[in-house]
Chains A and B, each alone.
Chain A
Amino acid sequence: MIGPLIKGLSITIRHLFGPKVTIKYPYEKRKVYPRWRGKHVLKLGEDGRERCCYCGLCEAVCPANAIRIYGKEDPIFEKSDVGKIAEIYEIDYRRCIFCGYCQEACPRDAIVLTTEYELAVDSRSKLLRDKEDLTEKR
């Protein structure tokens, strides 16, 4: 009868001093692989202007219908530019399934899925992320 008890305790004691599997989550973040699909970011170009040109491909390809975009003429228009930017860019995080198709479809590498995975918010309305929220901060 004592045999199995000792056996069990020995496992417990062994794991007590061995390497830990869990992490102290809020104080310590789990490392993810670089290709992790987390929060979206609308990238800016080298000149600091937004890359997105509202081609609508991310919206068209999105299997969950989470993206909604409207475009407009770029107010700052230079000769080499496309002359078109998104007026509204919304991703509905209640619907998004993080498949990454939008990133794949984007011809200008404007929308990118980052490794940020902490997406919880305290109200549902905040899950509808608009252009300002999504644009890369520099």
Chain B
Amino acid sequence: MARITIDGIAVEVRDDATILEAARKAGIDIPYFCYHPYLKPAGLCRMCLVEVEGMPKLTPACVTQVRDGMVVRTDTPRVKKAREGIIEFQLLHHPLDCPYCDQAGECMLQDITYRYGRATSRFVDEKELFPTKFYGPFIVYEQSRCILCKRCVRFTHEYMAGTDWNVYFRAAHSLIGTYENKEIADYFTCNLVEICPVGAITSRLYRYKVRYWTLEWARGVCRECGLFCSLDYGIRENKAYRAKHNVNSPGPWICDKGYFGFECMNHPERIKFALERRENKLVNVGLEKVLNGITQALGRYKPEEVAFILPSGLSVEDAAGIRNFMDNFGIKKAEYRVGMEDYLPFGSNVDSLEEISEARNILVLSGDISNSYPVIALTICEAIGKGANVVLLTSWDYYLMKRVNNLFCIKPSCEDGAIYSLFSGKWDEFTGLSREEYERLEAFLQTKPMIVLGPRAQEAVRALIVDYAIKNGLKYIILDRSSSSYVAYTYGLFCKGIDSLLEEVKAGSVKALFVLGVDLFREVPNGKLVRDALGSVDFMVYMGLFFNGTARYADYFLPLTELVEEEAHFVNVFGKLTKSKKSLAREYEERSIREWLKLISEKMGKKLDLEVREFKPKFVLVEGNKKPKDIVLSGSGDFEALFEIPFYRNFRYMEGKSKLLEASPEPVLNVSIYDARSLGLSNGDYVSLDIGGPSFKYKIRVFDELVKGVLVADTGFEGFPVNEALNNRIAKVKIKK
């Protein structure tokens, strides 16, 4: 510990702390632009110059390490003059257009100029103005306003490792951007907006809509993945206009899904009334009639003929409400695993994202972590930046594949087999791993790495890994496809899997279905089964925000609340509880899942208790040793294709998030470089994909890291029913030019 004095205040800090950190601890304000608590110090902006006794010149506080007995002064005339000078230089070409700038009100340059700057400028030359640039659907860059603090560049280098976001050209011509002005939509682009201290990088979704000071901030929780990041939503007149991350919950950064994902709350197409089907159309007949209709219909069925299908991002209260409703009426069937996963949550023994970022060796298995848990992928990249050795064994992970130190890429159908053979200690040549690769992986396993397992792996593999990790004292995180797996499992809201449930619906043993906010056509890989099941279902209630393919089969549509329209608690992958407050008033008939169930239950004469007193997540215990199931590939052809929903379409209520959808406008087919060469394909070509019957038009993206003979195709597009031709995520396909 070092004791230093700043402006007469004594403060004790760590030996490796900087003067700026010490000053922040002592409560002394030192202005800065380029410093950021979660980035490495750079000393670029010179705004934090201070006077240190014994040093002839002024010193930048953000890069100077403290020394025991150091005496620092920040209030001398010399420091004041230096600050004024720096600001005058910063404003040399910075347009004084705060009235038009979106950052005004939260701009550091504005605040610092107001507090430390001169009232006038001595420069008489005309300011140089540059045109506005749009890098992709999310980011606007105003070169004139940029102060070149390089915060965004440092963020991309330290965390996102491997993007070409950088400073181009030199000196007065410097500008920040991508090579050849190409688009940037790289999962975490929103952090560039958040981190920019001035109005140089702003969000296109928020662009020019409202002013910062008219917003009120409401604490909410993003429900896209199992991390449940805490966000603040900027609200004006009962509408949300922007999101803002509140630091350190659970990590300092967020992903685009959360930052731009609140758009569905005030989407014009959102349905806010309870609807009933009359002559093939859903019409508004009034709440009372809808409730009467549902209760009458439910009275016709036996409890075992009713089933629930649950969404991801289920809150603890909603899960408890569903459980109590099912107990009230003796309903047994509910299913949350809509992605056709065969596993239940195994949990993890890692407590925070920090633990991942500080790990020295990480073994990332299966996929698609960057798609379903983006912030964990970012933290893994952060660990790479800190010098960790990260090994990835997967068939497809768009973000991590380009960024890890060691990549073992295999065929999608071999994934589970390869992981199983690695952990059971027996090399199997059919897994696509060569003997040498297997030995390298096994050697890496001896370094006791942290294991991160993606949502694609089967139950047998999961159980084996948990068993291995516990026996060998490894840290592990087992990620589930559904973010509501912890609460749903704890409340027992699962049966034998979505496919067997849909088979029962098809066979007629389940007649009434409650589908809560899931578009089955998009989420269930076996689209044919969904169509058959929904076609033969007797009675269906759909709860959601938007009208979609599944709602088309519904007899009743009940509007739900989202994000800050209800109070809710969530459990993240580390088992921690996050709370979302109710900050928006409801306009019409929208209610949360539990409130709808309460209304229905009370109509049927049974009280529904909604109070949750205690919640403790339960996990599956590993029992026995099972072999992974063999994946039977349907179709025929030379290629093995993996069908996944792309990142910018993989969220709840996709219909209402038009800004995010702009980043993934059309279905893309990722082709390995070998196949692209042999077929004569290049980026941007269109091909049709033949999946045993119908064929679908795809845009080609050549992806260097893929294995020969493997294709990765997008699903989840409206009017693009690939799922309906498949019965699993993986299939054999043919390419036609």
Contact = CB atoms under 8 A, between A and B. Distances in A.
Interface of A: 53-57, 59-60, 70-73, 79, 82-84, 107-108
A56 B213 contact: yes
B626 interface: no
Contacts of A84: 100, 208
B99 A79 contact: no
B400 to A, nearest CB: 35
Interface in B182-229: 207-211, 213-214
Interface in B478-499: none
Nearest to B209: A71
Given A70-B210, A72-B209, A73-B207, A55 B100 contact: yes
B132 interface: yes
Contacts of A57: 99
Task: Classify the interface of chain B: helix, strand, loop or mixed.
Answer: loop
A60 B213 contact: yes
Contact of A54 (B98, B131, B208, B213): B208
A12 to B, nearest CB: 60
A60 B131 CA distance: 29
Which of B98, B131, B132, B209 lies at the interface centre, i.e. has the most chain A CB atoms within 10 A of its CB?
Answer: B209
Given A56-B211, A56-B213, A73-B208, 11 more contacts: A54-B208, A55-B99, A55-B100, A57-B99, A60-B213, A70-B209, A71-B208, A71-B211, A79-B131, A83-B132, A108-B99
Interface residues of B, number: 14
Interface string B374-385: 000000000000
A53 B214 contact: no
A60 B214 CA distance: 8
Nearest to B96: A107
Contacts of B209: 70-72
A80 B425 CA distance: 68
A71 B214 CA distance: 12
Nearest to A79: B131
Given A53-B100, A84-B100, A107-B99, A72 B214 contact: no
Nearest to B100: A82
B678 to A, nearest CB: 46
A82 B207 CA distance: 12
Contact of B210 (A53, A71, A107, A108): A71
A107 B104 CA distance: 14
Contacts of A107: 99
Nearest to B213: A60
Nearest to B214: A56
B406 to A, nearest CB: 46
Contacts of B213: 56, 60
Contacts of A71: 208-211
Contacts of B98: 55
Nearest to A57: B99
Nearest to A84: B208
B131 to A, nearest CB: 6
A72 B211 contact: no
A54 B207 CA distance: 12
Given A56-B213, A59-B214, A83 B208 contact: yes
Nearest to B99: A55
Contacts of A108: 99
A16 to B, nearest CB: 58
Contacts of B132: 83
A84 B99 CA distance: 10
Nearest to A60: B213
B200 to A, nearest CB: 15
Nearest to A53: B100
A123 to B, nearest CB: 24
19 contacts: A54-B208, A54-B211, A55-B99, A55-B104, A56-B99, A56-B210, A56-B211, A56-B214, A57-B99, A59-B211, A70-B209, A71-B210, A71-B211, A73-B207, A83-B100, A83-B132, A84-B100, A84-B208, A108-B99
B97 to A, nearest CB: 8
Contacts of A72: 208-209
Contacts of B104: 55
Contacts of A82: 97, 100
Contacts of B100: 53, 55, 82-84
Contacts of A73: 207-208
B593 to A, nearest CB: 32
A83 B100 CA distance: 8
